[in-house]
Structure 1
Amino acid sequence: MMTRFLTSPRLKVQFAGALPYLALLAGMIALACGTAFAKTLFPVLGAEGTSAMRVGLAAILLLAIWRPWRFRFSRRDLTAMVLYGVVTGGMNLMFYLSLKTIPLGLALAIEFTGPLTLAMLHARRPIHFVWIGCAVAGLLLLLPIGRGAIQLDPVGVLLAGLAGVCWALYIVFGKRMAHLPAGPSVAIGMTTAALVILPFGVARAGLELFNPALLLAGLAVAVFSSALPYSLEMIALRKLPERTFGVLTSAEPAVGALAGLMFLSEQLSLLQWLAIAAIVVAASGSIATTGHDKTAAAPVPAE
């Protein structure tokens, strides 16, 4: 009886429908934990060196696993993958630079203005704006608006904002790759990202990038904050509309704040806990109404 239940077509359909959401959630958790651990490497490698090691090792892993040279891609597909890699590299580098002066949860909140703006541009039904409004309310609670705002490092805020622009472009270019095999396309994209970041990393960290002890730590960072989450996000991007993807990733600042609390001892205030609740409502509400969403989930056509 149990075997028949587990192999029933209805259960398989339900699991297939939940898979992109599960992939996105797992990717956010891995990314937040990996980034929190990566911040502990800043004293030795700096933000640039840590970012270069993270993305570089992730690219090597993905190339070894997927061997994208076995696949034939058109020039348009290769262009999309290169653009995806460039904005991924810019997003990683600027976000890590912002972490030098502002907390992880706050940096993620500011960075999220990019995909949130994209989500608003693709909103169609009134209920979509309700969930976006919940996400905005949560983000506003995460930001130290008031007396604390003047203490924020303006350069860190600017870098996090620029990372948000790259994040929005990452979603757009990722959708343009949605018809391609996820693993090989992400491998090429991450290799491009590594080439973008590597000169900055070498200039900052030099030979420390090849320290065996640090390479082991960097390998863990690469797996949990680059290779694994980006591959899982690509699975989600292939099935979810841009609006839905943008709203669901509103949980990322909350996940990052929790990771900061666990691994970096960054304490959460009552307002930040309320922000987490608002963001969770936005994410769960988006999931609840996606079944009635008529927006096409097809990839964005290349221009």
Structure 2
Amino acid sequence: MVNGRRSAVPPWVLAVAAMLSVQLGSALSVGLIDTVGAGGTAWLRLTLGALVFLAIARPPLRFVRRPDVPVILGLGVTTGLVTIAFLAAIARIPLGTAVAIEFLGPLTVAALRSHNARALAWPGLALVGIVLLTEPWRGEVNVAGVGFAALAAVGWAVYVLLTQTMGDRFSGISALSMTVPVAALVAGFVGVPQAAGHIDLTVIVTALGLALLLPVLPYALEMLALRSMTHTAFGTLMALEPAMGVILGLVVLHQRPTPTQIVGIVLVVIAGAAAQRRGRRPTLPALLD
């Protein structure tokens, strides 16, 4: 509902558009990674994204309490590290495979949050799907790429938990106006040395476009979608993200999955949707916007 009227765009369309923006931003980042490295790409994308958020929202620093500081810093550091790890992964392994591995993080959180021992079977099913995706029996597994994606999965799980805590205190873009600048600073430790000597106007314009695709546009679309969707429905829909990673990897990067890998992606999507179905967390009213 917007100003008392139902939006003309269905909320699920907004959620799907957010996912497409995330995966398109990831796919298009591969070209920039070749120029400034994974760390440089993360640093430029997060820095420009931070500038956008700061331009449209003033950080509510006067409302920050002492217990909020570790959460803000933790979320910012996690965001920076996850971004670097994921970009390092997609520089080495197919986008769909990296997304599926990273998806294990929030999937496991959703399963544990269900307080149902049987729900732990869903991360197991997703793990089977990831084995099919990586096809280790071919002897061509990029260990570094899988390792970076697994690190991103752990980081994303932490990110989910910290975001919930952050959301209990702050809402809207105000939270990102505090955490994304921290993430940019963290990424700078790796990114500045990698990008040094390779930055020109083309790189900056490209990085700005990528920053709008991820994180600026997806966050705005997700906020609009969540106004009309339950968190459970939204989380279930987001289980499609690994499949979108495969599709964008095929269309943009020409990464053609094998039939076995397609089966693997289907298993990950099923596991994600099933885990989210009973993983709803009671929502608390945010104090600040």
Contact 1:182/1:235 (8 A) holds in 2: no
Q: CA deviation at 1:230?
A: 4.2
> AA paired with 2:30?
K
Which residue matches 2:152?
163
Which residue matches 1:257?
246
Q: Secondary structure at the match of 1:56?
A: helix
Contact 2:236/2:274 (8 A) holds in 1: no
Structure 1 Cα separation of the partners of residues 261 and 117 of structure 2: 27
Instruction: Give unmatched runs, 5+ long, in structure 2.
Output: none
Question: Does 2:174 align with 1:188?
Answer: no
Question: Does 2:226 align with 1:226?
Answer: no
Equivalent residue for 2:190, pick from 200, 209, 212: 200
Q: Secondary structure at the match of 1:188?
A: helix
Instruction: Give unmatched runs, 5+ long, in structure 1.
Output: 1-5
Q: Secondary structure at the match of 2:198?
A: helix
**Structural RMSD (CA):** 3.5
> AA paired with 2:25?
G
Equivalent residue for 1:271, pick from 260, 263, 267: 260
Report the TM-score when normalising by structure 2. 0.82
Structure 2 Cα separation of the partners of residues 294 and 100 of structure 1: 34
Q: How many residues align?
A: 282
**Structure 1, residues 173-223: CA drift from partner, whole Å, max 9, x if none?**
0000113122010121111100000121110111433x1111111111111
Equivalent residue for 2:64, pick from 70, 73, 98: 73
Question: Does 2:51 align with 1:60?
Answer: yes
Q: CA deviation at 1:284?
A: 5.6
Q: Secondary structure at the match of 1:177?
A: helix
Which residue matches 1:154?
143
Which residue matches 1:3?
none
Q: Secondary structure at the match of 2:283?
A: coil
Contact 1:38/1:221 (8 A) holds in 2: yes
Identity of aligned residues (%): 31
Q: CA deviation at 1:278?
A: 4.0
Structure 1 Cα separation of the partners of residues 86 and 39 of structure 2: 10
Structure 1 residues 95-104 or 212-221, which shifts more?
Answer: 95-104
Contact 1:114/1:168 (8 A) holds in 2: yes
In structure 2, the CA distance between the partners of 1:178 and 1:126, relative to structure 1 (3 Å rule), is same
In structure 2, the CA distance between the partners of 1:294 and 1:79, relative to structure 1 (3 Å rule), is closer
In structure 2, the CA distance between the partners of 1:255 and 1:191, relative to structure 1 (3 Å rule), is same
Q: CA deviation at 1:22?
A: 5.4
Structure 1 Cα separation of the partners of residues 79 and 233 of structure 2: 20
